[in-house]
Structure 1
Amino acid sequence: MASLTGSSTNRLPISDNPVDWYPWGEEAFQKAKAEDKPVFLSVGYSTCRWCHVMERESFENEEVAKMMNDVCVNVKVDREVLPDVDRVYMNYVTAISGRGGWPMSVWITPDTKIPFFGGTYFPPQAMEQILTQVKDKWKNERDKLVPKGNSLSDILQEPASPTSPALSQLGLPLLRDRGLAMLGQMYDRTHGGFGGAPKFPTQSRFSFLHLVAYLAEDSNNLGRKMSAFTLKKMAMGGIHDQIGLGFHRYSVDAAWHIPHFEIMLYDNAQLAYHYLTYYVLTGDEYYRTVANGVLAYLDRVLLKKTDHGIAYMSAEDAESYEEEGDTIKKEGAFYVWTRAQITAALGEKDGDAFCDHFGVKEEGNVGLEHDPHKELQGKNVLMEQRSAEETATALGISTEEMEGIINRGREVLREERDKRPKPHLDDKIIASWNGLMLKTLAQAALRLPSGPEPEKFYNQGIEVARFVQNQMIKDGKLLRCYRTNVQGVCEDYASVINGLLALYQVKLEPWLLRIAVELQDKQDELFWDEKAWGYFASAEDSDASKIMRLKDDHDGPEPSANSLSLHNLVTLDSICHATDPFALGIPNMSESRAERYQMYAQKMVTFFTPRLLTQPASMPEMVSAAMIYLKEPMCVIISAPEQRQAEVFLAKIREVDEKKWRPDTIYVWERAQKEGVTGRVCAGKTCGLPSGDPQHVVTELGNVH
């Protein structure tokens, strides 16, 4: 699926199929009004498996395409380029069907853009039946199809202003307990994860579980246990590419075995972060090893070097050709194996041991119920059946020998696999997803400093931040995608700011904080909804093409814009209130900014309190941000004449700090006018005495915590 900018002035080459596609924009809607036709909206993305299937089956079908052109004006949207358009209609599809997904197929009116029918994947026969009914009802029963007076605001009703008690009155323990209770009810005690098939990683839930574990306020360690088991089962599963070490999008079964094979940047960026976080919480090297593998995959496959610097590309496709010269792509062709292929590559002895460990069968290990197009029959999706130690015991060999077989096998099979036709690579560079990578690279810089390139991850983070600064900010506004004029939406600002703030706290380079502050100013200007009680809207108020200003409050595959924004506001508020704003090295820094951060954060917590208390599992990142807000974060102010001196002092603090991960602690450099380097701990509106001893600073942190 091509990337669309939504321009209405130029027809874009969207597809080679016979459907007469238009990009999202006034040209399509004016044509539909002139010809008195409804608009058919198809939303997907370039690595979407079922988007490709629907395109082949329905859009490349001459008869279906002719009906589509006769009955509708057809609009195609790339959800990664126009996520706000996608979000509006996905809310509708989810509301009427109980579930959403891509491809998304919606029929809408050309004048008011109101949806009147929708779903996801429709095969040819279903498309023909729907188009026949749409044509008839549009002509003869339009009043019943689209009742007068309806609007998108009516259909997608925004919640009323909050009526429950203020969250600050209810307290952090209640918020924690409700979140744990709801996740506990959803928790799969057999396979890990939350809910049944299809099973998604639901990354933001790890943020909440790890924060609860850090605060040591979970007497039964339920949060830590749910996180540990889920992360371990995912890492052992087929959702984890056992050869390339990246994670696929989701598994179609409850046991994490058979994946939907596309690999997305946003999934892997967040999972690497959470595996690293669990490692630092527990010291368990297993989770560090998994994170290392994910980061190696990202660098090997999705890291893009351009003439203007580096950034991360979006995704790898689920489909590919099985062999060179094939004309039909198959899902998973790049990733699956026959037993014969493995033993031929590894030798019979090692191959048999490798196959035993990863559940490889002669007849294949994919059931027909998980292979509707029979593309995986006789093939195997690798999934660790047990630990290396347990496999070694079962085979009567040493653990060291078994680990050697696994590691060598992975290397050899990766080399063999690289000879296959590779999946399509979506090379779009998306602001919000690179923001997620900035946060992960900051975490990796602190947790993985050893090896031949100890500064590798930090340097990569700096290069990505420079790329965003120089290539994706124009006239003070953030772009959604590199090399397009598509303006960033709220999630882009929130994610990039969040990543910049995380990277800033590694070495306290002031330019990172300055860009974060500038982008927060612009986000406040463009997306803060003054008419509401307190939230950021997903789209700009002045952009008529975005239909309506939804509030983004659901933490799905990515944390919502409002969840990340609350984190950002709490961080910036703490920095400004604990320091002299003029000593931060940010032009025009003033107390008014700090007051705005504080006011917006307070309004957001008040507005979202009803949902935080009743639906915490749907917004766990927001719950995490609210918990830190209620606790009041600690701020370590390092006063030094030069940034390099502050950096060295901060490194010494981290060396002696037993708590290597402090999600409720913010570090900041304050330029001092006199020689000497000191640190002081501030919490709320109270600061301790400055000290030149890093151990004293850590002791103060412990006393406050």
Structure 2
Amino acid sequence: MTNYLIHEKSPYLLGHARNPVDWHPWGDEAFDKARRENKPVFLSIGYATCHWCHVMERESFEDEETARLLNDVFICIKVDREERPDIDSVYMKVCQLMTKSGGWPLTIIMTPDKKPFFAATYIPRETRYGRIGLQELIPRIKTLWQTRNAELKANAAEITQALETIKQKTPPQQLSKKTLDKAYEYFLQSFDRVHGGFGGAPKFPTPHNLYFLMRYYHRGKKDSALQMVEKTLQGMRRGGIFDQIGFGFHRYSTDERWIVPHFEKMLYDQALLALAYLEAYQLTRKEEYARTAREIFTYVLRDMTDEQGGFYCAEDADSEGVEGKFYLWTQEEIKNILPPGEASLFLSLYQHPEDREIHGMQEMPRGHFIPHLVPDSGEIPILTDKIRQKLFAARETRVHPLKDDKILADWNGLMIAALAKGAQILDEPLYLKAARNAADFIFTNMTDEQGELLHRWRAGDASIAGMLDDYAFVIWGLLELYEASWQTKYLEFALRLNRQMMERYWDEKEGGLYFTQHEGEDILVRQKEAQDGALPSGNSVALLNLLRLARITANSELENRAAKIAEVFSAQVAQHPTAHTQLLAALDFSLG
């Protein structure tokens, strides 16, 4: 038996198509049904490689009793956040506003006109550890909907109004070198001098912070700025957050030492981190950074590249229902695969019994370890590469994690930028060819009849109108590709997309770029932001693109648009500069 998701293209949605929950894709049909039947909407947002999304599915969405409750009370909608970042972004802001936290799976309960009155992330099936379970929550919501309907709708309207209030315009402030200094001082205070990175656990790579610090170092030769970057890059490369056997970075570290990751691998992390290591190599000429960039590219070209040239989204954290199983080893496995001398050498370098004390390791199967090097262990030993290849070959026989083979325009734009820059800096024609193939794939397969970008391609089907990040990130990739190849077709493609972006997303009244098109779907509020997250913000990337295009074409209007973006977000940037480091990188460029 299947539900309405069976006709979708997203691997995440298709993975829920046989749940007993009567899932609908996001669309008018589902909301019209909710109005006709006078039911609230249960919106669940996640993605294919999300560990806790799998947990909630196994516990609740595959459970007949919980599914019966959900189907009785709600119209249930599933959304792949990678396909619809516009929906995810709005409702994640709702969750953060209502609960002061966020994450995935994201759970929103709302009226048929899309106004939310309840928000949460993961919800267990039964109530435990003070967290209400679905089997208790659903009857409560049913009672409230039937007996206090007007009150719920009034609360939902207030929450929507609060979202509108966040958008209110603030007077512009002057951004200058002092803004850069303020961000640097904050990073200096929050820097983890022992392990690298900023703050405590969990630790995310956030490469755009490193881009800013490298530019700050280059501007004023502040040694501490570069030291923070190097300590962080070295800690990550030696840690368990890096796949020491097959290469590529996992999404984040659950501990402050970069050792215990959440094991999913995202394309955008590979692209953004490759750029960080390449820039560090440019600054220092240390081969370790060039080698790490090459290793990232090896992983992407080997495991994440479609035969037509585009790049896949991600690889799952789980295999055989266990998080990280594909990446874990036992001492016995190593000794069975390698000769005694090689096994002893590998274990002496990559296994550390004291890891059992690290937060997160207790959840790993007893006797298993995550291969990693000791921080500050000096040059990464080349001797172990032939050992690594033997272990990689053995690991390939295991059950692999799910690969989400969607191709997204925005993330592909980032990967094109990284490969093109890698081709330039490392003098590697293979990277240039891969970047060209991906750009040509987008041009051929991910534009509509009007030549406008489409967001998602999978299995021959391109769909979903492009969003700001699609345009900004692809233009970034094309600019790097133009500078690496000097083929004018890539500059022309970038200029064409830039014109479309300005026509479709520019706020004519106040300036800046909306996340969705002027003719796009109305989802509560239309967002216009410059704050970075795991990805740099579309407005900040577009700002630097505009400045670069202005210099290349001598078009002053592009520079004026760039200045307007900086002005619109200047108050936010001045108040919270470290939340806008991609914009600060553009500011650094503009200051010369």
- Report if TM-score (shorter chain) is over 0.5: yes
**CA distance in 1 between partners of 2:119 and 2:358 (Å):** 28
Deviations 1:166-188 (A, max 9, x none): 32xxx2x2021011012222211
**CA distance in 2 between partners of 1:13 and 1:279 (Å):** 41
The within-5 A match list for 1:180-329 is 180-215=184-219, 217-219=220-222, 221-306=223-308, 310-321=309-320, 329=321
Distance 1:286 1:489, change over 3 A: same
- The secondary structure found in structure 2 opposite 1:312 is coil
Deviation for aligned residue 1:226: 0.7
Letter in 2 for 1:457: Y
Distance 1:522 1:293, change over 3 A: same
Letter in 2 for 1:86: D
Letter in 1 for 2:122: Y
Deviation for aligned residue 1:371: 5.5
Contact 2:81 2:88 (C-alpha < 8 Å) held by counterparts: yes
- The secondary structure found in structure 1 opposite 2:273 is helix
Deviations 1:297-319 (A, max 9, x none): 1111001113xxx1111111111
1:356 aligns with 2:348: yes
**CA distance in 1 between partners of 2:395 and 2:348 (Å):** 20
User: In the alignment, what sits opposite 2:587?
Assistant: 626
1:484 aligns with 2:469: no
User: In the alignment, what sits opposite 2:19?
Assistant: 17
**CA distance in 2 between partners of 1:296 and 1:19 (Å):** 40
Contact 1:238 1:382 (C-alpha < 8 Å) held by counterparts: yes
From the CA coordinates, give the structure whose radius of gyration is larger.
1
Deviation for aligned residue 1:365: 4.1
Deviations 1:478-519 (A, max 9, x none): 000122321111110000011101111123211111110110
- Aligned partner of 2:396 among 418, 438, 441: 418
Distance 1:144 1:331, change over 3 A: same
1:382 aligns with 2:371: yes
The within-5 A match list for 1:165-176 is 165-167=173-175, 171=176, 173-176=177-180
Deviation for aligned residue 1:560: 0.8
Contact 2:202 2:253 (C-alpha < 8 Å) held by counterparts: yes
User: In the alignment, what sits opposite 1:339?
Assistant: 331
Deviation for aligned residue 1:109: 1.1
Contact 1:314 1:427 (C-alpha < 8 Å) held by counterparts: yes
Contact 2:313 2:407 (C-alpha < 8 Å) held by counterparts: yes
User: In the alignment, what sits opposite 1:471?
Assistant: 445
Distance 1:419 1:360, change over 3 A: farther
Letter in 2 for 1:384: L
- The secondary structure found in structure 2 opposite 1:74 is strand
User: In the alignment, what sits opposite 1:155?
Assistant: 163
**CA distance in 2 between partners of 1:431 and 1:102 (Å):** 22
Distance 1:128 1:335, change over 3 A: same
**CA distance in 2 between partners of 1:162 and 1:3 (Å):** 42
User: In the alignment, what sits opposite 2:436?
Assistant: 462
**CA distance in 2 between partners of 1:490 and 1:4 (Å):** 29
**CA distance in 1 between partners of 2:489 and 2:106 (Å):** 41
1:607 aligns with 2:568: yes
Deviation for aligned residue 1:62: 1.1
Deviation for aligned residue 1:561: 0.6
**CA distance in 1 between partners of 2:84 and 2:566 (Å):** 28
Deviation for aligned residue 1:386: 4.8
**CA distance in 2 between partners of 1:70 and 1:245 (Å):** 47
Deviation for aligned residue 1:5: 9.4
Letter in 1 for 2:488: P
1:75 aligns with 2:77: yes
Distance 1:418 1:156, change over 3 A: farther
Letter in 2 for 1:378: G
Deviation for aligned residue 1:546: 3.6
Distance 1:526 1:82, change over 3 A: same
RCO higher in structure (CA 8 A, sep ≥6): 2
1:557 aligns with 2:534: yes
Distance 1:485 1:151, change over 3 A: same
**CA distance in 2 between partners of 1:269 and 1:24 (Å):** 30
User: In the alignment, what sits opposite 2:544?
Assistant: 567
**CA distance in 1 between partners of 2:272 and 2:497 (Å):** 22
Letter in 1 for 2:499: D
Contact 2:39 2:75 (C-alpha < 8 Å) held by counterparts: yes
**CA distance in 1 between partners of 2:31 and 2:14 (Å):** 16
| Long gaps (5+) in structure 2 | 127-132
- The secondary structure found in structure 2 opposite 1:485 is strand
Deviation for aligned residue 1:367: 5.3
**CA distance in 1 between partners of 2:209 and 2:358 (Å):** 32
- The secondary structure found in structure 2 opposite 1:499 is helix
User: In the alignment, what sits opposite 2:506?
Assistant: 528
User: In the alignment, what sits opposite 1:677?
Assistant: none
1:178 aligns with 2:213: no
| Long gaps (5+) in structure 1 | 322-328, 391-398, 578-593, 632-705
User: Identity across aligned pairs (percent)?
Assistant: 36
**CA distance in 1 between partners of 2:483 and 2:358 (Å):** 50
1:86 aligns with 2:88: yes
Distance 1:2 1:620, change over 3 A: farther
Letter in 2 for 1:496: V
Distance 1:227 1:338, change over 3 A: same
Distance 1:191 1:146, change over 3 A: farther
- Aligned partner of 1:516 among 458, 482, 494: 494
Distance 1:419 1:6, change over 3 A: closer
Letter in 2 for 1:479: L
**CA distance in 2 between partners of 1:55 and 1:352 (Å):** 41
Distance 1:218 1:448, change over 3 A: closer
User: In the alignment, what sits opposite 1:129?
Assistant: 136
Deviations 1:387-424 (A, max 9, x none): 6669xxxxxxxx9xx641x2222111101101111111
Contact 1:40 1:75 (C-alpha < 8 Å) held by counterparts: yes
Deviations 1:84-142 (A, max 9, x none): 0000001111222222111111111112x111111111110111222122112112223
- The secondary structure found in structure 1 opposite 2:83 is coil
Count of aligned pairs between the two proteins: 576
Deviation for aligned residue 1:203: 1.4
Greater helix share, structure number: 2
Deviation for aligned residue 1:352: 2.0
Letter in 1 for 2:210: F
- The secondary structure found in structure 2 opposite 1:106 is strand
Name whichever of 70-79 and 566-575 sits farther off: 566-575
Contact 1:4 1:78 (C-alpha < 8 Å) held by counterparts: no
**CA distance in 2 between partners of 1:350 and 1:522 (Å):** 57
- The secondary structure found in structure 2 opposite 1:544 is coil
User: In the alignment, what sits opposite 1:65?
Assistant: 67
**CA distance in 2 between partners of 1:567 and 1:52 (Å):** 38
- The secondary structure found in structure 1 opposite 2:462 is coil
User: In the alignment, what sits opposite 1:665?
Assistant: none
- The secondary structure found in structure 2 opposite 1:201 is coil
Deviation for aligned residue 1:12: 8.0
Letter in 2 for 1:478: L
Deviations 1:448-471 (A, max 9, x none): 22xxxx411112111111111111
Name whichever of 351-360 and 263-272 sits farther off: 351-360
**CA distance in 2 between partners of 1:537 and 1:377 (Å):** 49
Q: CA RMSD in A?
A: 2.3
**CA distance in 2 between partners of 1:50 and 1:408 (Å):** 36
**CA distance in 1 between partners of 2:435 and 2:315 (Å):** 22
Q: Tell me the TM-score normalised to structure 1 length.
A: 0.78
Letter in 1 for 2:360: H
